[in-house]
Structure 1
Amino acid sequence: MAAFDEAEYLAAVRSGDFSKLLEPQRRLLDALLGNAALRAGDVREVLGELTESAARMLEVGRVGLWRFDDTRGQIECLDLYLLDDERHERGVVVPRAAAPAYFTAISSGQVIAAENAYLDPRTRQLGPSYLQRYQVGAMLDTPVLIHGELAGVLCHEHIGGERRWRAWERTLAASLSECAGLVLAEGAR
């Protein structure tokens, strides 16, 4: 999938042609929900396509889909795409005790746009064990809902220093989270 074109997006905003704003997300959602692997019950493959597409569209080094456990005491990575390495990982678990402020923030269901993840009060507790280890400088985390209930978070992680998250990036990230929720709901059928 082609990279998200900010200039084209902003031109569509100015013109009022909102169909152009949703076209990349619509194409992605159609591809994900139409994937034969999803119909066969293989959610992993489809989630991999989603995280990979998200990384390319937002040009971030890491995109991970994390799901809460039943008690919301931890999140587990269902799929993490590493753009530079072009590979996927899964299974990492982050307990609430490691970053209670982060868990409070993601549990609120609000978008977290941490332009400096080391200084942002919502994300800084992730510092030594996560941010430094993976060289994450900024995070754009959006809630994933299944049937209207918070189920997890889609994390878009910028490698390196700070990054100012623009409005179109926040909107796109939220749309990608909606796609993730639909895929997870479809896979649970």
Structure 2
Amino acid sequence: MRSTTDGGRLIDTVRHIVAGLGPNDTQLQRVRDDLSEALQQHFQVSTVSLWCLDLMASPMVLHCVSLHTAQGQRPPYGPLAEEEYGEYLRWVMREGVYACSNVDEDPNLQGLQPYFRRHGVQALLDAAFQVNGRPRGVVCLEHTGGPRTWTPAEKSLLRRVSAEASLAIARMEAMPRLPSERP
């Protein structure tokens, strides 16, 4: 397990990464990719994926926007429909962090079993991104190679990372845009 100092170092790294966000989305993908890489290296998990929630779709859809594995950056996974993630997403948005040491034993994850089998996921630690109380997405730490028990320090640190990223998103959205940048 990494020390508290390492956790502080990760928070500093996250703050540095998200500081690159401006009033437009030109740097957004780089920030997403740098964030997923930093988390994968720190937590030493098989995969870190960042998912954005499409609130306009009915039913809602999660879109993978960044994916970093132990082998490096990869193309994002395809979208997940609400019937796949259902109760899991409601839980992670309500509680902020979702820790599961064995995905085969968690009833909230039944709809995601095909995804877990396809990618070999056996344990996960996820945290919600929320801006002004509205769900925006999830950061997912995925572990392969057997069950994994997540420590309270790991859960707390991922919650802090998610909070930093959520604040950065809120700041970015609050910045005035030039007329040419408005939708």
- TM-score by length of structure 2 reads 0.82
Q: Deviations over 1:21-78 (max 9, x none)?
A: 762144213321333xx33631000111101101111111111111111246111111
RMSD, matched Cα:
2.2
Contact persistence 1:42–1:187 (CA under 8 A): no
Among 99, 117, 140, the alignment partner of 1:113 is 99
CA distance in 2 between partners of 1:170 and 1:131 (Å): 21
Instruction: Determine the C-alpha separation between the residues in 1 that align with 2:45 and 2:145.
Output: 10
Which residue among 47, 51, 64 is the counterpart of 2:32? 47
User: Counterparts in 2 of 1:5-84, with a 5 A limit?
Assistant: 6=2, 8-9=3-4, 20=5, 23-35=8-20, 38-39=21-22, 41-71=26-56, 73-83=60-70
TM-aligned CA deviation for residue 150 of structure 1: 2.0
How far is 1:186 from its partner? Answer: 4.0
What is the identity percentage for the equivalent residue pairs of Structure 1 and Structure 2? 24
Task: Identify the range of structure 1 (63-72 vs 161-170) with the bigger mean alpha-carbon deviation.
Answer: 63-72
Q: Which residue of 1 aligns with 2:76?
A: 90
Structure 1, gaps ≥5 residues long = 10-19
Extract unaligned runs of 5+ from structure 2: 176-183
Residue identity opposite 2:9 in structure 1: P
> What SS does structure 1 have at the residue aligned with 2:38?
helix
Q: 1:145–1:99: structure 2 CA closer, same or farther, 3 Å change rule?
A: closer
Work out whether residues 11 and 160 of structure 2, in 8 Å CA contact, stay in contact via their aligned partners in 1: no
- SS across alignment from 2:103: coil
Which deviates further from its counterpart, 135-144 or 169-178? 169-178
CA displacement at 1:181 relative to structure 2: 1.6
Report the AA paired with residue 90 of structure 2.
T
Count of aligned pairs between the two proteins: 170
Secondary structure (helix, strand or coil) at the match of 1:163 reads: coil
Answer yes or no: is the 8 Å Cα contact 2:96–2:159 preserved in 1: no
Structure 1 CA distance for aligned equivalents of residues 74 and 164 of structure 2? 19
- Find the counterpart in structure 2 of residue 103 from structure 1: 89
TM-score under structure 1 normalisation?
A: 0.79
Q: Which residue of 1 aligns with 2:122?
A: 137
Q: CA offsets per residue over residues 105-143 of structure 1, 9 Å max, x none? A: 234243110110111112232112x00100000011111
> What do residues 86-110 of structure 1 show as CA deviations (whole Å, max 9, x unaligned)?
1132262100112322233234243
1:176 aligned residue: 161
